[in-house]
Structure 1
Amino acid sequence: MRLVCFFFGLILISCGGQSQDKINGVSFVGSREEVTQAHIDPVLKIHANYAAVMPFGFMRNPEHPELTFNTDHQWYGETARGARQYIDVLHKNGVQVMLKPQIWIWRGAFTGDMIMPTDDDWSTFEKSYEDFILTYAKLAEETQCSVYCIGTELDEFIKHRPEFWNDLIGKVRQVFKGKLTYAANWDEYGRTPFWDQLDYVGVNAYFPLCEKQTPTVETLTAGWQPWKTKLKQISEDLKKPILFTEFGYRSMDYTGKKPWLVDRIQENVNLKAQADATQVIFDEFWDEDWFAGGFVWKWFIHHDKAGGYADNRFTPQNKPAESVIREHYAQVKKSKL
């Protein structure tokens, strides 16, 4: 029987079938409560083999040097205790985890623009951020997470304090023995200086593709080509796989114009645009050897209440895009990465 399976695997590879080592993930949003089996079942039904668990730290404003995290004032799923419980339940169901601690700045200010006003403030913030990242690196190791993400969209922080990041990566390596990445914004990853020290080139893949109200598959495909060429070249130059630490589209008109928009704009719901854009990203990337996979943004634990046909936000839940994801992820249920 093992011999038959071995040869069958060789046939799949020789026929150009989809790689068997892709990360087919969801970004599993923290909630006020513990995760139960009922919350995990929808993740299993779309055949996801990975989930990003995302505890949060909070800042008062982009110049405030103190980062608050793991407090009783946060939602359960955003704390270390909650993250551990989420990871345990996901692991019991055979879902691997990328632990991805993130910063939220009051009123949703963009983390990539965060700059401290003085060197003293930078030093204060660095101590706070290091504590944040090492706290969760230890949790990632204790819970045997497969991947740990050391930051998300922190372009100015990296540009102003590059030595801090070199030191931080070394300290994380001493604590966590799994694979490391960083989640660079779509317009940032090309200048991130420390990819050679990590295992994946992590990209939040909100690339602008076109300005059509309801873009066709052909238009979306054409829009991807210059970005895809650059991603492939960086992967080859660094000899590192590309990982989409976040990817997804809002179910609204003009979804390919500025896919990063998170504000509550009043564009009309457009379910077809979201579904087609999701299909194209699978078609363009998941068969590429230099591409490791990615994490859909975003997936709420209360599946029955999430998304739906009147929702113009990112989640694919209870929309046609969910079926696109399910169909694709069903092709590869387990990851070896």
Structure 2
Amino acid sequence: MEFIKGYTFAPFSKKGSYQGEEAYASLELLKNRTGINFIILVPNGLQDTPQSEEICYTSNATVSDEELIDMIKYAKKIGLRVALKPTVNCKNGTWRAHINFFDEEVPCEPKWSKWFVSYTDFQLHYAKIAEETGCEMFIAGCEMVMSEHREEEWRNVISEIRGVYHGLVSYNTDKYQEHNVKWWDAVDVISSSGYYPISDWEKELDRIERVVNLYKKPFFFAEAGCMSVTGSKNVPNDWSIRGDIDLEGQAEWYERMFQTCSNRQWVSGYAIWSWSIKLYHEKNAMKNGSYEVYGKPAEIVIKKYYNEE
């Protein structure tokens, strides 16, 4: 697998977000400023609560198929490889990792079996688009931690995807979960969310390396990022942290990630989280505490390492 110098672009965008010049200009800016060769696009699926059985991907909360196809074509036109990662979220704000049902089905209670029917339909819709547009990778979900023990159902999802899509298939597990997924043999590429504390990278890479060696599959971080606020470099997965702006701490976190991973030949890339369509003015970067790196020291670090690969 070719090394991934990637970024997640405009995840969970609403209908109409990809229309107009702003979205295309932002993607081109991302490419020019960071040196990426790969983007992940994330169509949004929504269910009401973690125990809802139905997933909707046709509302105004999700970009239209036409917009998505046009954006894929444009990304390819400017020399980028593309992955689709259809991802389900809960309308009530509960993180998708907590989607869960009784393991033994009970009458009158929500069921895994019904949820997986809806989830498979959601994935297949976008897998067909990935096939039609020549996407280089399809990532069959993201951070679905409480579902990952349902091995038979996940194997069926992957099998159904392979029936309509013929590129590389991956699945994006969450941080600390790489060793808990027992069906990595079913995918072509192992991927995870690399939001690890700045001091823990060596330890966590040691653990992940054992998984990679066991399954003998390529691996990359399908998400990785750190906010530019005080304390984020120690708990980069906690998006709720609020505090003083710490641009150097964000840059230091990226430097540590790239430095430690560069010593592991089995790490085949990254897709940084994330780059928006509507960017703040560059002069305001020093006041921005989000995961965005536009105009911040971390952007320079990312481009430096991407240019070295």
Please give the TM-score of this superposition, normalised by the length of structure 1: 0.83
CA distance in 2, matches of 1:287, 1:298: 24
Aligned counterpart, 1:61: 49
Trace 1:231-250 onto structure 2 (pairs within 5 A).
Answer: 231-250=208-227
SS in 1 for 2:287: coil
SS in 2 for 1:255: coil
Unaligned runs of 5+ in 1: 1-19, 210-219, 333-337
Instruction: Rate the CA distance shift 1:193–1:314 in 2: closer, same or farther, 3 A.
Output: same
CA distance in 1, matches of 2:249, 2:20: 31
Would you say the 8 A contact 1:35–1:86 is kept in 2?
Answer: no
Q: CA deviation at 1:275?
A: 0.4
Aligned counterpart, 1:198: 187
SS in 2 for 1:246: strand
Moved more, 161-170 or 301-310: 301-310
Aligned counterpart, 2:143: 153
1:109-139 Cα shifts (integer Å, max 9, x gaps): 1211111357353222111101000111111
Trace 1:116-195 onto structure 2 (pairs within 5 A).
Answer: 116-117=101-102, 119=105, 121-159=111-149, 161-195=150-184
Residue type of the partner of 2:272?
A: V
**Of 80, 87, 90, the match for 1:102:** 87
- The structure number with the bigger radius of gyration is 1
Instruction: Rate the CA distance shift 1:101–1:178 in 2: closer, same or farther, 3 A.
Output: same
**Is it true that 1:92 corresponds to 2:77 in the alignment?**
yes
**Of 252, 263, 272, the match for 1:276:** 252
Percentage of matched positions with identical amino acids: 25
**Of 23, 35, 38, the match for 1:50:** 38
Unaligned runs of 5+ in 2: none
SS in 2 for 1:330: helix
Would you say the 8 A contact 1:179–1:199 is kept in 2?
Answer: yes
Moved more, 80-89 or 62-71: 80-89
SS in 1 for 2:308: coil
**Of 261, 266, 273, the match for 1:285:** 261
Q: CA deviation at 1:304?
A: 5.0
SS in 2 for 1:182: strand
Count how many residue pairs are aligned between Structure 1 and Structure 2.
296
1:177-215 Cα shifts (integer Å, max 9, x gaps): 111111100122211111111111111011234xxxxxx
Residue type of the partner of 1:23?
A: I
**Of 101, 108, 114, the match for 2:99:** 114
Instruction: Rate the CA distance shift 1:155–1:23 in 2: closer, same or farther, 3 A.
Output: same
1:53-110 Cα shifts (integer Å, max 9, x gaps): 0100011111111111122x2253xx43322121111011010011111112124312
CA distance in 2, matches of 1:35, 1:299: 17
Please give the TM-score of this superposition, normalised by the length of structure 2: 0.90
Aligned counterpart, 2:291: 314
* RMSD (CA atoms): 1.9
